[in-house]
Structure 1
Amino acid sequence: MLFRQEDAQAIENALGLAVRMHQGQRDADGAPYILHLVRVMMRCKDPHAKQAAVLHDILEDTSATSEDLLANGISPEVVQTVERLTHLPGVSYGHYIESLSCDPIAVEVKLADLEDNYSIARVKYREDHRAHDASRLERYILTHRFLIGDLELDQYRSLIGQIKR
């Protein structure tokens, strides 16, 4: 894929910011968290989606704010998508997904995030977390089906509401 110079620079800028802000964070297996963000970014095609992908957890998992992103040269459009991808405390998962489903770039990123999260290469069997892991995977699969159009909103709402946490 060929990128315009300004898109390539914007992706590099977003990646650099993500590396700095997620420094020292690890995933459940102890791997640097930035690897998840890069895998999600690599699944995306659109240059704006690539930027949002590498930043999709920055507002949830770091001290960064939307204003910080803007001050670091992230475009307002990408910041808006990152905000949509941020699951705010007190908002149900279903409502969070519904709210981002109106933004095609956010959908592209969320699908890539879900695909990385439920990749068989990343899912570990943990005896003490079986029920939680099973419900989490079920939630990811239902969300994926909704975002690609296989489930109507009312079906999604009904099914996601039945999943035990």
Structure 2
Amino acid sequence: MNEMEREALVKLAEEIATKAHDGQFRRGGIIPYIEHPRAVVERVAGDHEAEVVAWLHDVIEDTSESAESLIEAGVPEYLVAEVVLLTKTREAVYDQYLERIAASPIACRVKIADMLSNLADHPTRKQIRKYARGLLRLTRDSS
């Protein structure tokens, strides 16, 4: 994939996320939700694959988008798989969820950026503890 194709893919992901999160707001109901994926993208800037995943990291979990709809829209299956990996279900045990993410360099990079963004958005003490534990797990040297 050449540079123009990579940039077009990032733009596609941004358009999908912007449309999918339209009308949603962050905590407090003032800031449009799309500002969160934008902040995550900024933290992974320069890595086109991670940027695509960052734009889309919450769309399956929090909107009507599905893995199938992302593929149909033109997002490569391997990047949709990363988005699915980042999609937390109610049944997911947090530590197992983190272990799966830790095994994927793209998902791991995006999740760390996601946690940092969440920590910058007036987290509760409980959220701070959760993200601290998650960050420690995802930044653990596996060698």
TM bucket (normalised to shorter chain) is: over 0.9
Question: Percent identity at matched positions?
Answer: 31
Matches within 5 A, 1:90-105: 90-105=91-106
For residues 28 and 84 of structure 1, what CA distance do their matches in structure 2 show?
24
For residues 139 and 20 of structure 1, what CA distance do their matches in structure 2 show?
29
TM-superposed deviation, 1:88:
1.1
Q: Which has the larger radius of gyration?
A: 1
Matches within 5 A, 1:68-87: 68-87=69-88
TM-superposed deviation, 1:148:
1.0
Which secondary structure does the structure 1 equivalent of 2:32 belong to? coil
Name the amino acid aligned to 1:36: H
Which residue of structure 1 aligns with residue 41 of structure 2?
A: 41
Which residue of structure 2 aligns with residue 18 of structure 1?
A: 17
Matches within 5 A, 1:139-154: 139-149=130-140
* Larger relative contact order (Cα-Cα within 8 Å, sequence gap ≥ 6): 2
Which whole-Å deviations, capped at 9, do the CAs of 1:75-126 have from their partners, x for residues lacking one? 111100000000012111111111111100000000000111112xx216xx
Gaps of 5+ in 1: 125-132, 153-165
| Contact residue 86 and residue 107 of structure 2 kept, 8 A | yes
For residues 65 and 7 of structure 2, what CA distance do their matches in structure 1 show?
23
TM-superposed deviation, 1:62:
0.5
Which secondary structure does the structure 2 equivalent of 1:95 belong to? helix
For residues 112 and 101 of structure 2, what CA distance do their matches in structure 1 show?
11
For residues 77 and 6 of structure 1, what CA distance do their matches in structure 2 show?
16
Name the amino acid aligned to 1:118: L
Gaps of 5+ in 2: none
Which residue of structure 2 aligns with residue 8 of structure 1?
A: 7
TM-score (norm 2): 0.92
Which whole-Å deviations, capped at 9, do the CAs of 1:25-67 have from their partners, x for residues lacking one? 0011221000000010111031110000010000010011100
TM-score (norm 1): 0.80
